[in-house]
Amino acid sequence: MLNVSHLTKKYHRFVANDNLSFIVNDGETAVLAGPNGAGKSTAIKCIAGLLRFDGEIEICGFNNKSIDAKKILGYVPEIPAPFELLTVWEHMEFIARAYRLEDWEKRAEELMSRLELTDKRDKLGKELSKGMQQKISICCAMLIEPKVVLFDEPLVGLDPHAIKELKAMLGEMKKNGTTIIISTHMLESVEDIWDKVFIMMNGKIEAERTRRFVEESGENLEELFFNITEKKQTGADAQ
Amino acid sequence: MNSILYLLRKTVKNEILDTLRHPLKFILYAFVAVSMIYGAVRGYTAGDDLGNSEIFSDPRLLSGAYLAVLFFISIPIMLKGLSSGTSFFSLSDVNNLFVAPVSPKKILVYGIGRQLASMLVLVVTFAAYGGMIIKMFRVTVSQAAVLIIGIALMLILVQLVTLMIFCLASTHPIRAKVMKYFIYGMAFFALGTVIIYSFTKGISVESIFSAISLPMLEYIPFVGWMHGFVFGIMESDLTRIIVFGVLTFLSGISGIILLKVTRLDFYEDVLSQAESYQEFREAVREGKFSDKVMFGNKEIKLRKKGINKGRGASSIFYKHLLEGGRRSRFMFFNINTFVLIFVALVIGFGIKQAKSDIEPTIIYLSAMIILAYVQFFFSASGDWVKELTKPYIYLIPDGAVKKLVMAAATGIIKPFTDGIITFVILAFVAGGQPVDVITAALTYGSFGTLYIAANVLAQRLVGIDSTGGIFITFYMSMIVLTLLPGVVIGLVVLSTMSGSYGFIAATLLGAPLFIWNMIVSAGIFIACRNLLNNTE
């Protein structure tokens, strides 16, 4: 479970995240949606423990910067950052060693096979395309079998097969009770996997919807998204 | 041409306005300028100690050193020109200028001209040492000016020669290969001549000095010609002025003529180079030195596969060992080690030559201080700095101090191995007490740890994502602040005990410094463990 309470992140006078509070339960998939600059990636990085912030973030009851939280947290960054001089397989080995994983080899093979990295096993990080590097990031995050996993624009740069496979993996993780948070500005890319959506604009959560609410009310999510984001944008322009 | 002039005009104007709008940047530039002027004046007024040394007053040393400087600035530029002439252009030039209806020749001239402007910084840097050169080598002010103007001329000549090389070789792989061998040949000829001559005459300072000032070295194209021209003026040798002046002028003019008559199509060559150059610039600006940026697409053989050791934080250290082994077969023994050994030997031979009955401990003391200074320039980008640019170190579930130490471990070990190798080799030249050798090596090594600790402290104070100039200023301040108490303690110990133990002065100063450096570094690592709490 992920519990974000009064998260505020400022860069000098600019408020990137303004008092965000939300909960994502076990087995739920939440989407942070919003246009460029809405504060989605900043929120994801705060949750991953990469940025300083005001407020509290708990991962399965642990403070997000604690070692206990790090053990169960997976993070797929927006821009993949593999180690240039490690092979694909050595990335798996490094994560397994750093997280003190046992019997990880079979799972690593399986992840690599699903994301079509098996034949790239001995390729160095610097020799891979951006898409391949993104696949390594995903494998690294999945290898630890996280209880909470954060994806920052995960589908950008992936080929259709990898997108299909990643969506299948997300479904499996959800069944196993993993909490999933995905940041994206392309709602259609996650329309069949979300349970909760938080629409962000100017660092704030402007709307929160559950799948059940949307299905029962017949509300058009895309329309809601544009109503919020374009109205705000026009207002900002007018000012 | 109008568009290029417009681009140049606007670039210069906006650069000036940008500097004025950022007071800190302006202050930094002003500080650097004032430091250089001060350095030049101070070098002139306070260089007496160096000037008194017989070794520096030998004109052959100046001749050899000047030739080495000319080689140092010319060969890399010529090789770069051969591989496509191309660090001249940025990606924005490629994307905007190359597709515009402007003649490729004009664009090439623009690129080279801009490169030349950036090279002026190098000339200004040399000029800052003008005062020191005058005192050290006992030359007149006008001779020092000739030397510096010679370097400026060499920079212009090398750009024109590069142009010539590029025109001749850009579309002919065989010609490019021949020219590459030719450029390497120039360097090897000079090096080979000096080594063979020194060995045949018996290794001594005298034979080395004779070797580096051999007249035949002036027949090496471009570099030797410029040397001959400059020293011809300095020594009022009319024949050399005319011969080497004409050769230099002709080689420069050939570049311009070839540009005029050759059909150039260099855009494709430039494209990939410009992309990687852009990546490099961004990395330097952000202080990120990735292997892809530093080594490009150079093929790396996987001799050893797998990390094979480590759990938790220690896996970072073993990963660094694996990566280091892939960068270079001898991870802890690289070009830096050779440079250190070379500098140490120059110090050893130099001091012995100046005063043959000097106590060996003075040699170790001098080498320890000078090499610790040299090491500062090697310590800019260790493995741990690269690690901070990726998310994994922050995410790994282990103690922050442990992660920080493990990430810095290879950077800590390297100076110690360098120190041991260098000072043991120096011991063969200097002799003296074994305790001095060990202490000097350990003290030198401890400077590596202190530089990393000061870097950690600076990162903690100003933030990992701070801009280069501010960071460097803080980093250097932190070095001075953390080092100062150790130096004071060392000097107190040296002054109180040198009466009885003067024969191990290097140990008296070095041992307290070593202990202080290690303690203060450990303290900084513990105090700054929160560095890994976030990426900011």
Tell me: the pLDDT tens digits for A174-192? 999 999 999 988 788 888 8
Residues B328 and B269 in one domain: no
Q: Where are the alpha helices (DSSP H) in B170-289?
A: 173-200, 205-212, 223-234, 238-261, 267-286
As a whole number of angstroms, the distance between CA B234 and CA B245 comes to 13
Q: What residue of A is the nearest CA neighbor of B326?
A: A85
pLDDT at A234 (0 to 100): 53
Between positions 292 and 321 of B, the ones with CB within 8 A of A are 292, 297, 300, 302, 305-307, 310-313, 315-316, 318-319
Burial of B100 per CB tally in 10 Å (0-12, 13-18, 19+): exposed
Q: Tell me whether residues A70 and B395 touch, CB distance under 8 A.
A: yes
Closest CA to A202 of A7, A14, A48: A14
- Tokens (6 digits) for B357: 């009955």
In a domain, B139, yes or no: yes
pLDDT per position as a tens digit, B343-357: 898 888 878 777 778
Residue B304 lies inside a defined structural domain of this protein: no
Distance of CA B226 to the CA centre of its chain: 23
Q: How far is B315 from chain A (nearest CA, A)?
A: 6
* Residue finishing a domain among B231, B262, B283: B283
- Where do the structural domains in chain A lie, given as residue ranges? 1-72+146-157+171-239, 80-145
- Distance of alpha carbon B143 from alpha carbon B146, whole angstroms: 5
Give me the number of domains chain B comprises: 2
Q: Are residues B358 and B495 in the same domain?
A: yes
Q: Which domain holds residue B119?
A: 2-283
pLDDT at B1: 61
> Looking at the structure, do residues B74 and B175 belong to the same domain, yes or no?
yes
Contact status, residue B136 vs residue B52, Cβ threshold 8 Å: no
**Nearest-neighbour CA in chain B from A69: distance (Å):** 8
Distance CA A203, CA B385 (A): 31
- Whether residue B419 is contained in a domain is answered as yes
- CB proximity list for A197: less than 8 A, separation 6 or greater: A30, A31, A33, A187, A208, A209, A221
Closest CA to A37 of A54, A19, A16: A16
Mean pLDDT by 10 residues, chain B (536 residues): 76 78 71 72 58 64 88 80 60 70 75 72 71 75 85 84 75 78 88 86 78 89 93 91 92 80 62 62 56 59 85 94 85 84 86 80 92 82 80 90 92 93 91 92 95 88 65 84 93 89 90 95 88 72
CATH class of A1-72+146-157+171-239: alpha beta
The answer to whether A42 and A17 are in contact (CB under 8 A) is yes
Q: Are the CB atoms for A124 and B290 separated by under 8 Å?
A: no
The Cα–Cα gap between A149 and A70 comes to 11
Chain B residues touching A152 at Cβ < 8 A:
none
Domain end, chosen from B283, B298, B330, is at: B283
Q: Quick one: pLDDT at residue B298?
A: 61
What per-residue string of b and e applies to B370-387 under the rule 16 or more CB within 10 Å gives b?
ebbebbeebbebbbbbbb
Task: Report the distance separating Cα B319 and Cα A170, nearest Å.
Answer: 30
**How many beta-carbon pairs below 8 A join chains A and B?**
97
Which H or E run includes B524? helix B505-527
Per DSSP, helices labelled H in B291-380 are 291-295, 314-327, 335-354, 360-378
Q: Inspect the interface and report whether the beta carbons of A83 and B323 lie closer than 8 Å.
A: yes
Q: Write down the pLDDT at residue A237.
A: 46
Q: What is the pLDDT of residues B89-109, one digit of tens each?
A: 766 776 667 767 777 777 777
Nearest-Å Rg of the Cα atoms of chain B is: 26
B294, B328, B392: best to mutate for the A interface, most A CBs within 10 A: B392
> Is the domain of B318 the same as that of B279?
no
Q: Which chain B residues are Cβ-neighbours of A124 within 8 angstroms?
A: 300, 302, 326
Residues of A in contact with B407 (CB under 8 A): none
Q: Which residue of B has its CA nearest to A77?
A: B391
The verdict on B6 and B151 lying in the same domain is yes
Instruction: Collect all residues of chain B within an 8 Å Cβ-Cβ radius of residue A140.
Output: 392
Q: Which positions in chain A touch B318 (Cβ < 8 Å)? A: 97
Q: Among residues B268, B283, B298, which one ends one of the domains?
A: B283
How does the average pLDDT of chain A come out, rounded? 90
At CB < 8 A and 24+ separation, what contacts does A216-223 make? A221/A187, A221/A191, A221/A197, A222/A187, A222/A188
pLDDT at B276: 62
Are A100 and B311 inside 8 Å of each other by CB? yes
Of B297, B327, B394, the CB nearest to A49: B394
Q: What is the pLDDT of residue A238?
A: 44
What pLDDT digit, counting tens, does each position of A78-122 carry?
888 888 888 999 999 999 999 999 999 999 999 999 999 999 999
CB of A105 less than 8 A from some CB of B: no
CA A219 to CA A217: how far, in whole Å?
Answer: 5
Whether residue A239 is predicted with pLDDT greater than 50 in this model: the reply is no
Q: Greatest CA separation found in chain A?
A: 59
8 Å CB contact of B533 and A99: no
Q: Does residue B279 sit within a domain?
A: yes
pLDDT exceeds cutoff 70 at A55: yes
Tokens encoding B8? 């140049």
Position B216 in a domain: yes
pLDDT at position B267? 63
Asked if B311 lies within 8 A of A84 by C-beta distance, the reply is no
Beta pairing, strands A2-11 & A14-24: antiparallel
